[in-house]
Structure 1
């Protein structure tokens, strides 16, 4: 049994407010619902196991997006759950999860990995736990180490990315480099907060974007411009922007990325205690 919450329902606003009670565990789904309610996302729909007392929430591509999505060729599901049995029931339901094609569970709590593996096996799918991350959260913006005053010389060079910058961002993104990822980058630039530092010719040399689920990401500085404090300045700038817009302030850091972990920690972010996230790719068994 499940309930589909449509984009126009007041229930989505109620869901957004209720999810605040389950942060940081619900941070990714909360950030997604927030952007849906802001009108920034129109290609997702929301499923809950019951209402108003829900245990599981799943954001999934709209049915029409499963047929033809010009931005993301791989279906992605975002999941939050307080109950293993509830989550299992929803994942087993073919009306909720499209078990006929490849897809990704994006940023799912690693405590559910065995459950996902079991359900996938029942559906004759293989799983690959490709990326594991910490969630780094700035609990109070006052905790931010503000480096703006130290880099007043760069104030005139802080700007925003535009679509003409998508190629360089895509080319230097770890998960980029193809037309599919280029479409994702263009969508992020067009719809969600970002900032960058420009060189003397107006080209970006360091940048920071945010995802549709509100997390900061794609932080990158061209190699020849590193060790100049650009990343710290961009994070500081983005925090102030997100705070003004009412977004949560957080990011995901891959467990092996010590450099980024230390950067955000020095700026006042803290690791969400006891929580790890994984990006899980699911693929049908080969015949």
Structure 2
């Protein structure tokens, strides 16, 4: 496998993967993050360049496991790594219906804000995979590195939020139980999608 480090190659890969959506979506998000400052410290590998048939995104410095020579067409995810394989160099038709969401407004008494490090325990307590030291470290990392949206009440307390991860995907979205059924998550998801779209990330539903 070849690690792509050349900015021109990474930009070209982004364009190729964009044409291969939605199959390439998991790796595409990582490449977008790499090309926009690489906040997650990821790297991308291909089986060959430029006529690649497999592309892998992973945290920098990890050692690949498994035999890419026997990769089957499709998407595989394991332990923080995404891999996309194709029988031919990324020849999947592009999805023709990306979302272009309207702009719902926050309910009265609510405002858009941001989460901060003091909210990590709340995130860890409300995440289905949370509740332990490892998940807390992970949530603190993505909170500090990647875009997020938070709806706050009039006192500035989080009510609903959306976090994104290394691969440009939503990883933790939550509305506090006492604030549900008021459209708060719709607002948070729409704002997150609009901001992602403005940064060049695709939005699908």
Kept in 2: contact 1:207–1:221 (CA 8 A)? yes
Cα distance, 1:242 vs structure 2 = 1.4
Aligned length: 185
**1:37 corresponding residue in structure 2:** 35
**2:81 corresponding residue in structure 1:** 77
Distance 1:244 1:196, change over 3 A: same
**1:197 corresponding residue in structure 2:** 151
Distance 1:225 1:203, change over 3 A: same
TM-score by length of 2: 0.80
Distance 1:232 1:173, change over 3 A: same
Q: By percentage of residues, which structure has more strand?
A: 1
The one of the two structures with greater contact order (alpha-carbon pairs below 8 A, sep at least 6) is 1
CA distance in 1 between partners of 2:58 and 2:197 (Å):
27
**1:146 corresponding residue in structure 2:** 103
**1:235 corresponding residue in structure 2:** 189
Kept in 2: contact 1:3–1:47 (CA 8 A)? yes
Kept in 2: contact 1:138–1:249 (CA 8 A)? no
Please provide the CA RMSD for this pair. Answer: 2.4
| 1:71-104 C-alpha deviation (Å, 9 max, x unpaired) | xxx94221011139x9xxxxxxxxxxxxxxxxxx
> Which one has a bigger Cα radius of gyration?
1
For residue 212 of structure 1, the aligned residue among 142, 166, 188 is 166
In the alignment, structure 1 segments of 5+ residues that lack a partner are: 67-73, 87-136, 251-268, 270-287
In the alignment, structure 2 segments of 5+ residues that lack a partner are: 64-77, 90-95
Moved over 6 A (4+): none
| 1:49-72 C-alpha deviation (Å, 9 max, x unpaired) | 111111100113333x57xxxxxx
Q: By percentage of residues, which structure has more helix?
A: 1
